[in-house]
A and B are shown apart, each in its own frame.
Chain A
Amino acid sequence: MAFHPTDHFEPTSTEEVCGLLSKYGKHARIIAGGTAMYELAKRGLASEVKQLISLRNLPLGYVHRDETGLHLGATSTLEQLANAREISNDPTLMVMSEALHEIRPMQVRNVATIGGEICTSLPLLDLPPALLALDTLGVVQGTNGRRTVPLNEFLVDFFLNALKPNEFLVEALIPNQPEHSGSAFFKFGRTAYDFNLVNVATRITIAPDGKCSDARIYLGGVARVPMRASAVENSIRQRAINDEMASMGAQALGKFKAIPQIHGDAEYKLDIAHVLVRDSIKRAAERARVVVTH
């Protein structure tokens, strides 16, 4: 493994983290649970990393709700989030709960963090599409203070995020969802512990007249970053969603060249994507209607 860091720091304040990032530049890398770092190191993508900056002594393992939405500290583990009542008790956030439970190895869930899932910017992960479907914002700390970045701008490319050299992610903020929203997550993988071949995260909002007033549909595993299915979203807006409409919506996905993997070529993934998009529209709309009825 071409990975030979020379220093390991455990700062206790965000200022200290930014100071270390400024000092060491591209040779510094943030580490939280360590699973993403290991993945990068194994793939030979971290050979320039010399200074590891651990976030383990920063108080970023929190989950709390206020009037702006649900705040998820960057070092919250996936298992912590899977058990968080703020998520599991909120029916509009089902897409989150389902994505978290689809990350199967308990051994990963117990240490991997939401910050790592986001910052790795790997399109094969499950949580980013779910967060994107909920219009999540990344809260970024830099030397000159904090800024928020919509997650769809934060994930720039394969293994590339929008952080500047002296910045790091401190929080994911899920804004309050529109009333009468339902969401769903579907994943297709080869085995329980494999990365997905395709995943789909969908959020649908139903207006009082029963028609879809808004939708977010993101696919993982098919492009270099999670792909927004805007054509599908447009095709179901202002329509009443029944089984037929869900199928028509999925057709609007059209043909595209999905990234092939050893366990699924582009054509196969495209077929799977159509099925998952159809099913996730149906499921999310059903859930939104239940919310309306209650």
Chain B
Amino acid sequence: MSKDKVPLRINGRTYEVTLGPYALLADVLREELGLKGTKRGCDYGGCGSCTVLMDGKAIYSCMMPARHVQGHEITTIEGLAEGGKLSPVQESFVKNMGFQCGYCTPGVIMSATALLKRIPHPADDDIREALAGNLCRCTGYTSIFKSIKEAAEK
């Protein structure tokens, strides 16, 4: 099996990663680079726990060939805080209790971050559309919704 060293840009850093022909981004992030904030959930592109950003757009890392992110900028949940300070979206989730068990939270926050980058003041339907690919089994979504709305108002 052919393996190559491939440079990947993740959270502003370049990592030289040895990749097989079909390495998946979620595995590389978690197992090779130890970035375990990105979760595996359903493993078939339905739950959104594995959501990361590619050039600012939300993608499922569980089904993303790692070789296809070469030349793009990947952001994971670990890359949102700057200088030890949480991002406004993260702050808002903490303040509004936008999570309970927390397993889906990194993915939800990445989807919300992508949304606010695209639409700084989203309508309710924009938020629903952005979160359609993220499942939460605890909160009933109300507190997630509130967290995103409040982050958008800042």
Contact = CB atoms under 8 A, between A and B. Distances in A.
B30 interface: no
Interface stretch (A88-96, A99-107, A260-268): A99-107
Interface stretch (B31-39, B59-67, B75-83): B59-67
A104 B63 contact: no
A198 to B, nearest CB: 19
B27 to A, nearest CB: 11
B130 A106 contact: yes
B105 interface: no
Nearest to B60: A107
A107 B26 CA distance: 14
A5 B21 contact: yes
A4 B1 contact: yes
A52 B62 CA distance: 18
B68 A6 contact: no
Contact of A107 (B2, B45, B68): B45
A125 to B, nearest CB: 13
Nearest to B51: A107
B48 to A, nearest CB: 7
B152 interface: no
Contacts of B68: 34, 54, 56
B129 A110 contact: no
Contact of B58 (A6, A10, A107, A194): A107
Q: Which of A7, A35, A105, A107 has the most CB of B within 10 A?
A: A107
B48 A34 contact: no
Interface string A38-61: 110110000000001010100000
A193 B44 contact: no
Interface residues of A, number: 30
Interface residues of B, number: 30
A31 interface: yes
A26 interface: no
Contact of A105 (B43, B45, B64, B65): B45
Nearest to A3: B22
Q: Which of B22, B45, B58, B67 has the most CB of A within 10 A?
A: B22
Contacts of B90: none
B38 to A, nearest CB: 12
A34 to B, nearest CB: 5
A105 B22 contact: no
Given A38-B45, A56-B68, A107-B111, A8 B133 contact: no
B144 interface: no
Nearest to B48: A107
A8 B58 contact: no
Interface string A1-23: 00111111010000000000000
Nearest to A106: B58
A6 B20 CA distance: 8
A107 B59 contact: yes
A32 to B, nearest CB: 9
Contacts of B128: 192
Closest 4 CB pairs of A and B: A105-B133, A104-B132, A38-B63, A8-B21
Interface of A: 3-8, 10, 31, 34-35, 37-39, 41-42, 52, 54, 56, 79, 101, 104-108, 110-111, 192-194
